[in-house]
């Protein structure tokens, strides 16, 4: 039994799936010889060859567009974008075609592609390397959006995403890549793609989050515990389709809710969650909800990035606010 | 300064406007049956086209892009491709789609606003018409990659217009084709217009064929009103592709004899004289002249072909007009392999449940 | 005094601004000789020449990218995308550069571009011609998103957008282009870009909407009036930045709110509005809010498009639901 | 088949590795002062570079892309461009930026994670470094369009790497440059690698210069390790651009002698022997040899230059390290010309108000 990081768990999942399914191919910039700039695809080209682990020219348009033709032929491309900030040249093909191929052909052609990208801030990288724009994809019908936040979930959710017969945007919180280790048996067991994970039970307040903010949120929950407040922590994990039921059930119990995400607030996924709770769970609410999010400004360069990212302090403040209503 | 690379672009034309041969006739075109097939599909395409425009004008169909003047291109490429190959068309490729087995009524359904028009009862692998310009070229590159990976002896054909050659997806497909030496043939229907933009404002490149040079592979021009030249050049390029000799870009030069679509009024920007001149070069008369010179066809037989085509079109229109509409809730039924439970409520709402 | 349509009002605004400011240039596919596929730029090239009314090659990437360089030189490009569904190849340049140039250079270079696009459904057009994805832009810091819904607002908001020193995404509800006429004096008066417009006052329920849905919403309000329910109708108009104050003030009065938009529901702008009301106006609410929106599926081809678009009936049903709570 | 178009790509090299002339020396390079300026900036760039890498390694700066081996390219293009022209650089163009008047400390600030590094105290029109690959090429096309519209006699220069030539923005800029006959010079720093992807996997095109053919204008190659050739070819292209003779694409061939950035480990994919061989061609020794042959420089003077450069770098580092950080709320202060009232609350939150 050896403990592995999220980065290693992702590599393990890719390795597992490439070994059992010859239709799985990996593609992207520097994914081959170099094993990916974050080493997620390390060793795969050696093992499965350069045709199945394709180093592509420097073009996200090409990556996203070709993946669709490949998928229509029954391949299962796992396409890496080097950073989420570089997906946009490939945005058109993803939202105009990948998400629509099944519907457009009434099921004749399908598009089982996984679009992977590291996302989020906190590694002191240059501009465009730190954003969190999952909401852009969550708005697009026909896509799934999945974000793991632990080695076990990285492994199980990536397996599920590769096996899913439809396109999945799979976002990896890069700040967590090597932050924690866990024992993750390479048993090929996928996790469900339509479910939130309750990471911690509590009766006083519901903290809903995903990605790297799991880290700060758990820390906040621990601090709160010391103060006698029992926080329930939910990792949304699959952002789209959204398992609102698990969240509603929790809010029913706690009556208070704080949603935490790194992305800019306006029209972030937090808005959808708060909106749905207010529509379907209004009568359960004991206090207005709070969102703790990135600001509606451009992610500052790395000297100031920590001031942009939601901190444990900001989460605690929001919890305090929602707890104040009696 | 030393010279490190040189390139040239060739131009192929076999039949002139009067239907006289300018080059030795390619083998495939020695068989009158083949020529009659080409001729018949060109007529069918034109008759279908006129009918589709009429359906739109009478409110029985949505916006429709006519292919008037593009019959040699469309039928030429559609005839060149083998059954087991894959075709990624653009929206003026109806003639080619018919040759691929797509039903006339399916094409009508598509433009009539019914997704089932792209379900294709008789073909399983071709891509449907792609509305965002040139995006299909990259799908084609992906299909070609899959074919190459699996070491299959098949090729991929994809088409677009002259305007499309300005789009990213086009240049990306060119680069992909070259980089992986893909079994891919890209054909450009240069009909001189992208809606109102004339060819010379689309790019300063003297030919569009030379865009292949950016990808490191061969590009050539053909007379797009000469179905024999189109068929020949494309078939040869597809053979090369299947034989592992890599990709080709073929620019076929013709003229759009119609409005861009039924939503357009080309008289706002097309010079009348130019249009009149362009009619002199149109593809059908030229082939008919050749068929007549060669005694492959009589006036009467020609008449029969036209009637048979009209009949086929009429039947398709009937089928189109009599097809039961899809149920409103069908908008949810092909979104994902399995409808997420969160969407059941919305689906019920559409059903009025 | 002559009455003009939205399409004509937009043309009038462009004409006005090109005449008084030689830095204003119009660019896009078919905007010149052809006057735009919707004729919004009709006559401009004749009047201002082909250098200031540029027909571009068929590339949205080029349009969006070049507009930024032009703007940095002090031009004020008004760039047309033929349909909103074709913006995406230009998305990267808009969100990675246009929205950031001022911030990135600490004000040294700026980007006063207007990105115009017709949007929304209801004209029986082919796939990709009918979507409403304003939320994708509303999420991006540094952009403004503006949507007119009457000839007067089309004129005044377009003038304001051109004069605004920052990039504006200006979305035109194409179904309304020629639906209504209004007297719009060509007086060069701009409207504010940070304000909702209250189109109709009412004390019982707040209906918040924008774009073409103004049409159905007003019809609903009239029906409601006949039933004795006084609906307040708010045209958000500037989607970003969002004038939540006007909306909150209305909800404070009515206690009930329905948000209507054509876009898909999940992570649409409606979610943000509902979320903010629930955060800041929870105590004013007499009933859970409702969203009446496009569905979370791909806009069907035109035979079924009417089943996708929010109807007067659906709006009335939602109002009935929020009125039921006592 | 007839031939309708032919093209050729030339290659220019003036100084060989030993610093011997292969062609007649261009006029500008007859003046020793000019050559010493080029030399000095190349040394400055290299000294700066080593220091910047050291700052990153010691946690005093963010990720940094070294320009080791690219000094002839960067200094050559930076020296060719006129003050009143506009430059849209890429991230390995530090040498050129210094020649444009950008302060060394500003470049450090930029890579140190401080937006003020792109405010440029001494230049008002150049674009800042653009992180998304090749996007600056289209900004450059836009600037060139504005210049042309206003009938100014200025040109625009933009640079990118070999990998960048695969991106849409590159091909779009090529097409824009040709279509509008823009006063634009596009230069490609072909250093053989795009992170780990070698040049031959980036494109099957024999030269990157031939990508200009897709745009219908001239493309040429120069030896990117030969600062005289780079400076000469780029200055000539800029002259043409200013004179209304249209755009050029220049591919400069060199080798990346460093990791891609400080976040990279090139030993994973670069062959040691190749790297050793590449060092034989590096740009500084070659120019120094020439300067020595010509008696333009002595050992001692060379030493002085190196020291002066070190000193300049040290001062810049001091300035960088001693700059007061921006206030956190500055993240709101340049978002819009005027902060929308809806954001005041968020700004206050950052200020802890
Ligand atoms: C990305 C995108 N932008 C714009 C359009 C609108 N549009 C449809 S056809 C067309 C012109 C295409 O011209 P060309 O490629 O020459 O083909 P043709 O119609 O002449 O056959 C345009 C601009 C579109 N469909 N997709
Ligand atoms: C759109 C985009 N995709 C990916 C990246 C990540 N990236 C940064 S530099 C680089 C390689 C660039 O290679 P090249 O153009 O040859 O320039 P070089 O670094 O060799 O000078 C990549 C892939 C990026 N910055 N932008
Ligand atoms: Mg055309
Ligand atoms: Mg390189």
* Residue range(s) of every CATH 3.40.50.920 domain in chain C: 197-323
Residue A92 pLDDT level (bands cut at 50, 70, 90): very high
Q: Do the chains contact at C240 and A95, CB–CB below 8 Å? A: no
Distance CA D110, CA C119 (A): 39
Kindly state the percentage of chain B with pLDDT values over 70: 100
pLDDT over 90 (residue B202): yes
Is C66–D334 a contact, with Cβ atoms under 8 angstroms apart?
no
Write the residue in B120, B173, B336 that is nearest to A166 by C-beta.
B336
Instruction: Say yes or no for a CB contact (<8 Å) between B179 and D8.
Output: no
> Between chains, do D146 and C51 touch, taking CB under 8 Å as contact?
no
What kind and span of H or E run contains C144? strand C144-146
- Residue-wise pLDDT for B244-261, tens only, equals 999 999 999 999 999 999
Q: Is the pLDDT of residue A127 over 70?
A: yes
Q: Does B336 touch chain A (CB under 8 A)?
A: yes
Name the token pair of A74: 């029954």
Neighbour tally for B68: CB within 10 Å: 19
pLDDT of amino acid D123: 81
pLDDT on residue A148:
98
Q: Can you tell me the mean pLDDT for B188-194?
A: 98
Rounded to 10°, the helix B168-179/D168-179 angle is: 120
Contacts for B299 with CB less than 8 Å, ≥ 6 apart: none
Q: What's the gap in Å between the CA of C269 and the closest CA on chain B? A: 18
Report chain B's mean pLDDT, rounded to a whole number.
Answer: 97
CA distance B119 to C178: 35
Q: Indicate the Cα dihedral angle B13, B19, B25, B27, nearest 10°.
A: 110
Q: Answer whether residue B160 shows pLDDT above 70.
A: yes
Strand partners, C257: C206
Distance from CA of A317 to the nearest CA of B (A): 32
Determine whether the interchain pair C52/D149 forms a contact, defined as Cβ–Cβ distance below 8 Å.
yes
Burial of C235 (0-12, 13-18, 19+ CB in 10 A): buried
- pLDDT, tens digit, for every residue of A288-325? 999 999 999 999 999 999 999 999 999 999 999 999 98
- Of the residues B46, B232, B260, B286, only one is catalytic, namely B260
Taking only residues 94 to 133 of chain D, the set having a beta carbon closer than 8 angstroms to any beta carbon of chain C reads 115-116, 118-120, 124-125, 127-128, 130, 132
pLDDT-based confidence at C1, cuts 50/70/90? Answer: low
Return the CATH fold of B10-322.
Rossmann fold (3.40.50)
pLDDT (tens digit, 9 = 90+) per residue, B276-290? 999 999 999 999 999
Q: Within 13 Å of residue B48, how many CA atoms lie on the same side as its CB? A: 31
Cβ neighbors of D267 (< 8 A, separation 6 or more) are none
Q: How far apart are CA C111 and CA A21, in angstroms?
A: 49
Contact: B112, C305; criterion CB under 8 Å: no
What CA–CA distance (Å, rounded) separates D329 from A304?
9
Task: Report domain extents, chain B.
Answer: 10-322, 329-353
Residue C297 zone, left/alpha/beta (φ > 0; ψ -120 to 50; rest): beta
Percent of chain D with pLDDT over 70: 100
Beta strands in A3-124 (DSSP E): 3-4, 24-28, 53-55, 76-80, 114-119
Whole-number Å distance, alpha carbon D236 to ligand 1 midpoint, is 38
| Residue among C109, C114, C93, C111 at smallest CA distance from C168 | C114
Cβ of A67 below 6 Å from ligand 2? no
CA distance B309 to B306: 5
Among A65, A97, A102, select the one facing B172 at the smallest CB separation: A65
For chain A, the chains sharing at least 3 beta-carbon pairs closer than 8 angstroms are B, C, D
Rounded CA separation A153/B103 (Å): 47
Question: Does the beta carbon of B217 lie under 8 angstroms from any beta carbon of chain D?
Answer: yes
- Selecting from B141, B147, B336 the residue whose C-beta is nearest the C-beta of A66 gives B141
Phi, psi of B143 (to 5 degrees): -60, -45
Closest CA to A173 of A247, A106, A118: A118
- Buried residues in D164-196 as b, exposed as e (16+ CB within 10 A): bbbbbbbbbbbbbbbbbbbbbbbbbbbbbbbbb
Extract the tokens encoding A183.
């024992």
D168 and B168 in contact by Cβ < 8 A? yes
Which positions in chain A touch B149 (Cβ < 8 Å)? 25, 51-52, 75
Residue D38 confidence (pLDDT) above 80:
yes
Q: Which of B269, B280, B293, B334 is catalytic?
A: B269
Predicted pLDDT of residue D353: 78
Q: Does A97 touch chain B (CB under 8 A)?
A: yes
The 3-state secondary structure of chain D, one letter per residue = CEEEEEEEEEEECCECCCCCECCCCCHHHHCHHHHHHHHHHHHHHHHHHHHHHHHHHCCCCCCCCCCCCCHHHHHHHHHHCCCCCEEECCCCCHHHHHHCCCCHHHHHHHHHCCHHHHCCCCCCCCCCCCCCCCHHHHHHHHHHHHHHHCCCCCCEEEEEECHHHHCHHHHHHHHHHHHCCCCEEEEEEECCEECCEEHHHHCCCCCCHHHHHHHCCEEEEEECCCHHHHHHHHHHHHHHHHCCCCCEEEEEECCCCCCCCCCCCHHHCCCHHHHHHHHCCCHHHHHHHHHHHCCCCCHHHHHHHHHHHHHHHHHHHHHHHCCCCCCCCHHHHCCCCCCCHHHHHHHHHHHCC
Is the Cβ–Cβ distance between D99 and D79 less than 8 Å?
yes
Is B241 strand, coil or helix? helix
Burial C274-311 (b: 16+ CB within 10 A, else e): bbbbbbbbeebbebbbbbbbbbbbbbbbbbbbebbbbe
pLDDT in tens, A44-91: 999 999 999 999 999 999 999 999 999 999 999 999 999 999 999 999
* Residue C57: closest CA among B259, D167, B161, D175: D175
Average pLDDT over chain C reads 97
Query: What residues in D contact C106, CB-CB < 8 Å?
Result: 115-116, 118-119, 334
The label of the residue with tokens 């440059």 reads D177
State if residue D133 touches ligand 2 by the CB under 6 angstroms criterion: yes
Q: Are A95 and A143 in contact (CB under 8 A)?
A: yes
Instruction: Find residues 238-257 of chain A whose CB sits inside 8 Å of chain B.
Output: 241-244
Buried b (16+ CB within 10 A) or exposed e, B272-287: eeebeebeebbbbebb
Selecting from A30, A89, A124 the residue whose C-beta is nearest the C-beta of D197 gives: A30
pLDDT digits (tens, 9 = 90+) for D150-188: 999 999 999 999 999 999 999 999 999 999 999 999 999
A207 vs A222: CA distance, rounded Å: 12
Q: Give the ipTM of the model, two decimals please.
A: 0.98
The pLDDT score that the predictor gives to residue D47 is: 98
DSSP A317: H
pLDDT in tens, D287-333: 999 999 999 999 999 999 999 999 999 999 999 999 999 999 999 99
Q: Residue whose CA is closest, atom 13 of ligand 1?
A: B194
Ligand 2 atom at minimum distance from D133 CA: 26
Nearest Cα of chain C lies from the Cα of A229 at a distance, in angstroms, of 22
Q: Which residue of B has its CA nearest to C304?
A: B328
User: Active-site residue B47, yes or no?
Assistant: no
Which of C94, C87, C81, C62 is CA-nearest to residue C166?
C94
pLDDT given at position C326: 78
Which tokens go with A81?
């974008």
Determine the residue of D159, D188, D194 to mutate for testing ligand 2's pocket, defined as the one with the most ligand atoms within 8 A of the Cβ atom: D194
Helix (H) / strand (E) element for B250: namely: strand B248-253
Would you say residue A226 has pLDDT above 80?
yes
**What backbone torsions phi and psi does residue C26 show, to the nearest 5 degrees?**
-110, 135
Do C90 and C81 meet the contact criterion of CB atoms below 8 Å apart?
yes
Q: Please indicate if any CB of chain C lies within 8 Å of the CB of B351.
A: no
**Is residue B52 exposed (0-12), middle (13-18) or buried (19+ Cβ within 10 Å)?**
buried
At B316, phi and psi to the nearest 5? -65, -40
**Hey, which residues 1-60 in chain B have their CB within 8 Å of chain C?**
none
Predicted pLDDT at C150: 98
Query: Of D11, D57, D122, D269, which is the active-site residue?
Result: D269
How would CATH label the architecture of C3-183?
A: 3-Layer(aba) Sandwich (3.40)
Ligand 2 atom 8: the closest Cα is on which residue? D133
Is some CB atom of chain B closer than 8 A to the CB atom of D190? no
User: Which of these, C119, C125, C118, C133, lies nearest to C305 by C-alpha position?
Assistant: C125
* Average of per-residue pLDDT across A229-247: 98
The predicted-structure confidence for A174-194, as pLDDT tens digits, reads as follows: 999 999 999 999 999 999 999
Question: In angstroms, how far is the first alpha carbon of chain A from the final one?
Answer: 48
- Work out the pLDDT band at A326, boundaries 50, 70, 90: confident
pLDDT for residue C2: 83
Is the C-beta atom of D170 inside 6 A of ligand 2? no
Q: Nearest residue CA, atom 26 of ligand 1?
A: B132
Task: Select the more confidently predicted residue: B83 or B123.
Answer: B83
Region B294-301 average pLDDT:
95
The HSE-up count of residue B352 (CA atoms within 13 Å, CB side) is 5
- State which H helix or E strand residue C48 sits in: helix C44-52
Q: How many CB pairs under 8 A join A and B?
A: 132
Closest ligand 1 atom to Cα of B189: 21
Does the pLDDT at position A1 exceed 80? no
Distance C135 CA to ligand 2 centre (A): 30
Element (H, E) at B313: helix B299-321
Mean pLDDT across D223-246: 98
For C265, the closest chain B residue by CA position comes to B346
Q: How far apart (Å, rounded) are the C-alpha atoms in residues C130 and C139?
A: 21
Average pLDDT over residues A259-269: 98
**Window B:167-226, CB contacts with A under 8 Å:** 168-169, 172-173, 175-176, 179
Task: For a ligand 1 pocket test, name from B255, B260, B269 the mutation site with the most ligand atoms within 8 angstroms of its C-beta.
Answer: B260
Could you tell me what percent of chain B has a pLDDT over 90?
98
Chain centroid to CA B300: 30
CB atoms C266 and A272 under 8 Å = yes
Average pLDDT over residues C259-266: 98
Distance B195 CA to ligand 1 centre (A): 7
Peptide bond into C278 cis (omega under 30): no
pLDDT digits (tens, 9 = 90+) for D83-138: 999 999 999 999 999 999 999 999 999 999 999 999 999 889 999 999 999 999 99
Q: Do D3 and B12 touch (CB under 8 A)?
A: no
| pLDDT above 90: percentage of residues in chain D | 98
* Model confidence band, residue A202 (pLDDT cutoffs 50, 70, 90): very high
Helix/strand/coil (H/E/C) assignment for every residue in B134-197: CHHHHHHHHHHHHHHHCCCCCCEEEEEECHHHHCHHHHHHHHHHHHCCCCEEEEEEECCEECCE
Using a 10 angstrom Cβ sphere, with 0-12 exposed, 13-18 middle and 19 or more buried, the burial of residue D36 is: middle
**Residue in B1, B10, B201 closest to D12 by CB:** B1
- Give the pLDDT mean for B26-36: 97
Residue of chain D whose alpha carbon sits nearest to that of B223: D1
Instruction: Using pLDDT thresholds of 50, 70 and 90, give the confidence band for residue C130.
Output: very high
Nearest-CB residue to C92 (from A89, A267, A288): A89
pLDDT of D102: 98
Q: What is the overall mean pLDDT for chain A?
A: 97
Residue C122: both structure tokens together:
């209801």
Percent of chain C predicted with pLDDT > 70: 100
**Ligand 2 centroid from CA D194, angstroms:** 6
Sign of torsion over alpha carbons D120, D122, D124, D125: negative
CB of B322 less than 8 A from some CB of D: no
In a mutational test of the A interface, the residue from C102, C261, C267, C299 whose CB has the highest number of chain A CBs within 10 Å is C267
Is domain C197-323 in CATH 3.40.50.2300, yes or no? Answer: no
């Amino acid at each position: 039994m050896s403990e592995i990081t999220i980065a290693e768990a992702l590599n393990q999942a890719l390795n597992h799936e490439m070994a059992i399914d010859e239709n799985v191919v990996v593609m992207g910039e520097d994914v081959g010889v170099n094993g990916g700039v974050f080493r997620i695809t390390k060793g795969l080209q050696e093992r499965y060859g350069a045709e199945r682990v394709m180093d592509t020219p420097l073009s996200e348009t090409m990556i996203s567009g070709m993946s669709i033709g490949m998928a229509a032929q029954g391949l299962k491309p796992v396409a890496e974008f080097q950073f989420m900030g570089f997906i946009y040249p490939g945005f058109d093909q993803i939202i105009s075609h990948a998400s629509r191929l099944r519907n457009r052909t009434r099921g004749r052609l399908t598009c089982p592609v996984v679009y992977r990208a590291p996302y989020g801030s906190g590694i002191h990288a240059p501009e465009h390397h730190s954003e969190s724009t999952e909401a852009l994809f969550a708005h697009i019908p026909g896509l799934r959006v999945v974000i793991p936040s632990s080695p076990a979930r990285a492994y199980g959710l990536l397996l599920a995403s590769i096996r899913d017969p439809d396109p999945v945007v799979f976002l990896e919180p890069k700040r967590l890549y090597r932050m924690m280790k866990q024992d993750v048996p390479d048993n090929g067991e996928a996790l469900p793609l339509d479910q939130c994970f309750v990471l911690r039970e509590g009766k006083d307040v519901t903290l809903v989050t995903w990605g790297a903010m799991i880290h700060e949120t758990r820390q906040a929950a621990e601090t709160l515990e010391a103060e006698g407040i029992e926080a329930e922590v939910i990792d949304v994990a699959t952002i789209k389709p959204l398992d609102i039921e698990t969240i509603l059930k929790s809010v029913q119990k706690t009556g208070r809710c704080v949603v935490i995400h790194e992305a800019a607030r306006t029209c972030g996924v937090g808005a959808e969650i708060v909106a749905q709770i207010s529509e379907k769970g209004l009568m359960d609410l004991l206090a207005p909800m709070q969102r703790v999010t990135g600001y509606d400004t451009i992610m500052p360069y790395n000297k100031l990035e920590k001031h942009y990212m939601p901190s444990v302090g900001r989460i605690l403040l929001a919890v305090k606010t929602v707890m104040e209503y009696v | 300064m030393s010279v490190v690379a040189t390139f040239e672009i060739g131009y192929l034309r076999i039949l002139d406007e009067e239907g006289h041969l300018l080059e030795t006739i390619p083998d495939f075109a020695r068989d009158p049956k083949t020529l009659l097939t080409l001729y018949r599909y060109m007529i069918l395409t034109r008759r279908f086209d006129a009918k589709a425009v009429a359906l739109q004008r009478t409110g029985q169909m949505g916006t429709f892009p006519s292919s008037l003047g593009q019959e040699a291109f469309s039928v030429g490429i559609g005839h060149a491709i083998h059954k087991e190959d894959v075709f990624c068309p653009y929206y003026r490729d109806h003639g080619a789609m018919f040759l691929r087995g797509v039903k006339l009524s399916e094409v009508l359904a598509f433009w009539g606003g019914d997704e089932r028009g792209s379900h294709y009862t008789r073909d399983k692998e071709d891509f449907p018409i792609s509305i965002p310009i040139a995006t299909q070229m990259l799908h084609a590159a992906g299909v070609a990659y899959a074919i190459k990976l699996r070491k299959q002896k098949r090729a991929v054909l994809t088409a677009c217009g002259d305007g499309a050659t300005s789009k990213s997806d086009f240049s990306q497909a060119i680069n992909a084709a070259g980089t992986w030496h893909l079994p891919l043939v890209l054909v450009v229907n240069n009909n001189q217009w992208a809606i109102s933009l004339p060819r010379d404002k689309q790019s300063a490149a003297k030919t569009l064929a030379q865009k292949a040079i950016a990808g490191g592979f061969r590009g050539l021009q053909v007379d797009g009103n000469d179905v024999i030249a189109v068929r020949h050049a494309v078939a040869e390029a597809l053979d090369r592709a299947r034989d592992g000799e890599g990709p080709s870009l073929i620019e076929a030069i013709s003229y759009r004899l119609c409005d861009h679509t039924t939503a357009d009024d080309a008289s706002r920007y097309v010079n009348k004289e130019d249009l009149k001149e362009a009619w002199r070069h149109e593809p059908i008369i030229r082939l008919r002249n050749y068929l007549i010179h060669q005694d492959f066809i009589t006036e009467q037989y020609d008449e029969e072909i036209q009637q048979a085509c009209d009949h086929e079109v009429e039947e398709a229109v009937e089928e189109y007009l009599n097809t039961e509409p899809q149920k409103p809730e069908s908008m949810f039924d092909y979104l994902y392999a399995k409808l997420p439970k969160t969407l059941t409520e919305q689906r019920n709402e559409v059903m009025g449940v």
